[in-house]
Chains A and B, each alone.
Chain A
Amino acid sequence: MGNLEILIQAPIFSVQLLIDGLLVGSIFALAAYGMALLWGVMNIINISQGDYVILGGYVTLTLYNAGIHPLFGVPVAAVVLFFVGWAIYRVVIFRVVDRDLFISILATFGISILLQQLMDQIFGADIQSAESGLGTLFLFDDRVTVGQIKLVALAVVIVVSVSLVLFFKRSRMGQAIRATAQNARAARLMGINTDRVYAMTFAMNAAICGAAGALVVMTWVIQPFIGLAYTIRSFMIVVVAGLGNIAGVVAAALGLGAAEQFAAFLLGAEFQIGFVFGLLVVILLVRNMNLKRQRRVLK
């Protein structure tokens, strides 16, 4: 394990990995939060989650290519994706909301393929990125570098999370969404238009993903086919954190981000994606074992 030796002899590099991991994780947190929202409110697992992220990235890229600073991409991508999400709900999702979970999984899978291929046709398969021009912070004798854009990303994540919490606590729509999540039928009886709530939820999720995508395109690079990895990460984070727990989601997302960086460093970059998906299987199995034990105790 030559790689482990590096970390032991020069622990400063684990600081680099940790910082990077946490900042990466903060972007995962956005997508994961959107997924938890959909899952909790509509009981839908959205496989096309990651593709909204990438689509948000392309919206930002389009602005950037038109000469507009990519930071404006964050709100613009959110707004554009809001309408995209609304449209997708109105065309497809409303037909599958009340049906079997597997139908919604497959339908969103189809949407995922559709979006990927459309992006491939429109924007090309090459990787692309938008330069924020913000520069890099150098710490510890240049051995630790932090792109300032990553700090901006962290700030955006915090702002979005806080405003979401406020939205759900304060606004009427937020309350309606929470009521629907608790019991859709009761909410309907109380006069809440659950169809509108669902549309709003789905659109909001897409908007959150779009903002995340704007950050991704400024921080790393994007291409049309990397969405699924974000979907799977979101799913894992939600499984670990549970539904309706924004602090849990953020913590799990940061943890996953850091774990991935260390895994890639120690095992080699080729195993990073494999590690994520392997971890998913392990987490689900452990969760299932715990459930089984609890069930046995109950018996």
Chain B
Amino acid sequence: MNGGGKIALYLGLAVAALLVPQVPFLQPYLIQFAFLWVMILFAMTWDVMGGQMGYNSFGNIVFFGVGMYATAVVQRDLYFTVEEYANVAGGEQAALTPAEYLTGLALGMGIGGMLAVLIAAVLGSGILGLRGHYFAICTLGLGIAAGELASGWDYIGAGSGLVTPLLPDALGERGPFFYYVFLVLAVITFLVLKRLYAGQFGLAINAIRDDEDKADALGLHATRYKTVAWCVSGFFLALAGGVFGNLVIFIDPTDVAFAGPTFGVWMVLMAILGGKGTLWGPVIGATVFHLTQEFFWTYLFGWQRVALGLLIVVVVVFFPLGIVGWLRERWPQRFGEMVDEDARRVQVSLEGER
């Protein structure tokens, strides 16, 4: 595809995305779309670590939860005391003005994002030293431990959960509001990652994926790049978490915030389904997954999770390249590459670590 065509494609997508809320027959589906953007955010941020850098994390959900709780706590503490909030939150007594709501949300997301970066930096210095399966299982433990800790901490509601403020009526319906907020967030994340992958940073983390020891020996500060990558991933995930708390309204520590068995696994699956280590793969994977999942949930009724388990096994075992990876294998020219076949195969293959 030439440069002009590419710009036309991006512009077309952007206009289409902006116009969706204006189309009458799509009105009822806006919240579904908002969830879709969240899924895309999940897959994109996971792919920074898992796809581009080869560090398969099961614990990225920690940042999502941290962002969600941080935002909710800021929104609560900015305008209420804890006791007051417990008694009035959510209903009309606690109605915030639009300015208050947006200030709380923005400030909360900012603090949540910074907190996530801090946690990624601190934990990263230790955990990112682990390799392969040790890293994967350690992060799995991290995600679950975070959920259990949140369930025991009374200040953030412990097991009773935390209710976030309602969207003020002046800001319009829930559908369009969350549609646009998540759309903006997803687009910004996509553009930032696209920029990062195109430059030195992208090359560096790809080098770490392909052979960390060699990269290290050649003078690449692997630890620094790994930590930065985790911080980037965590930052955007925390922002998404902050808004997600407001979308769902009720934050349960293990089922919504630190939802490892659902969101934590899905983000991995979506990235692989779309094609990990590619720019568009996570986006496509998340879209396909979200639609398929809605299909399962509606028509399989009770057996949907069984189907989900099957889907994971089938995708991982039979389809590890993902959709984009497969397309790239079929039509490499379309992806503007006519490189040495063997080298390319190594690059997109999941066998990278061997």
Contact = CB atoms under 8 A, between A and B. Distances in A.
A271 B146 CA distance: 11
Interface in A132-162: none
Nearest to A102: B56
Interface of A: 45, 92, 95-96, 99-103, 105-107, 109-118, 120-121, 228, 232, 235, 239, 268, 270-271, 273-274, 277-278, 280-281, 284-285, 287-289, 292
B127 A281 contact: yes
Nearest to B128: A288
A287 B351 CA distance: 26
B337 to A, nearest CB: 23
Interface in B313-354: 313, 316-317, 320, 350-354
Given A102-B350, A271-B152, A281-B138, A288 B129 contact: yes
Contacts of A271: 148-149, 152
B98 interface: no
A96 B316 CA distance: 9
Interface stretch (B30-38, B108-116, B299-307): B299-307
B132 A274 contact: no
Contacts of A99: 350-351
Given A106-B272, A121-B303, A101 B133 contact: yes
**Residue from A106, A107, A270 with most neighbouring chain B CB atoms (10 Å):** A106
- Tell me the interface secondary structure of chain A in the complex: helix
Contact of B309 (A103, A111, A268, A288): A111
Contacts of B141: 232, 277-278, 280-281, 284
**Residue from A103, A105, A281 with most neighbouring chain B CB atoms (10 Å):** A281
B145 A106 contact: no
A164 B352 CA distance: 36
B185 interface: no
Contacts, number: 133
B130 interface: yes
Given A100-B351, A117-B305, A284 B313 contact: no
B309 A113 contact: yes
B24 to A, nearest CB: 38
Nearest to B310: A114
Contacts of B126: 285, 288-289
A281 B312 contact: no
Contacts of A287: 134
23 contacts: A45-B137, A95-B317, A100-B352, A100-B354, A102-B56, A103-B350, A106-B268, A107-B317, A110-B311, A113-B305, A113-B308, A113-B309, A114-B306, A118-B306, A121-B306, A232-B141, A270-B152, A274-B144, A277-B142, A277-B145, A284-B138, A285-B127, A285-B130
A121 B130 contact: no
B208 to A, nearest CB: 15
Contacts of B351: 99-100
B148 A113 contact: no
B151 interface: yes
B140 interface: yes
Contacts of A92: 313, 317
A274 B148 contact: yes
Contacts of A109: 265, 312
Interface in B162-199: none
